[in-house]
Amino acid sequence: VVNASLGFSQDYLEAELRYQKAKYQDDAAVRSRAKAVLDQRRENWARVFDACPNTLFIVAAGNSNQDVVEYGVVPAGIQRDNLLVVGAVDRWGNWASFTNSGEGVKVFDFGVEVPSLIPSGETVPLSGTSMASPNAANLAAKILSVNPKLKPSQVRALIAEHGNPVKAPFSGVIPDEAAALAAARKAR
């Protein structure tokens, strides 16, 4: 199980490239370079996913309140059997206003005001899908600990099929750890 709490979209890359005015003199050059970078990242991530078919990759959906596929978020917009994309909800199961979603996001987890340790040793509340995806990765690792013979697609299915529905406007589930682990044990 690999957690990847990272990702970029075209508009994020364009915004970053605009700071390099000496290198990219107009919007067309910025858009072209951002697209090239994003296309290369998409290809690289797809290669990684394809080269590791026995590894389940859990990735953060992103925080732009967009559809991951339409918006072109990488790696969340890539679809593979060994990839689980995770959006964010608050502690009451309400969807996070920032979370990316769409057909590629079937699982949502706690990602709003998550107590997080920073380098000074202080605990601060942080929000984002990068806070949510480690929860799903933790569950995936627990599922594999009780049934190590499961394939990544089976672990992904257990997580997505054993949960409580996310409140509108999204579809998907908030994983039910006990139910998913019970199903993993039963599948042995």
Phi and psi, residue 73, nearest 5°: -70, 135
Q: Tell me the residue range of the domain where 109 lies.
A: 2-186
Confidence category of residue 25, pLDDT binned at 50, 70, 90:
confident
How many domains does the chain fold into? 1
Domain at 14, CATH number? 3.40.50.200
Is residue 56 packed enough to be buried (19+ CB in 10 Å), middle (13-18) or exposed (0-12)? buried
43-80: pLDDT as tens digits? 999 999 999 999 999 999 999 999 998 888 999 999 99
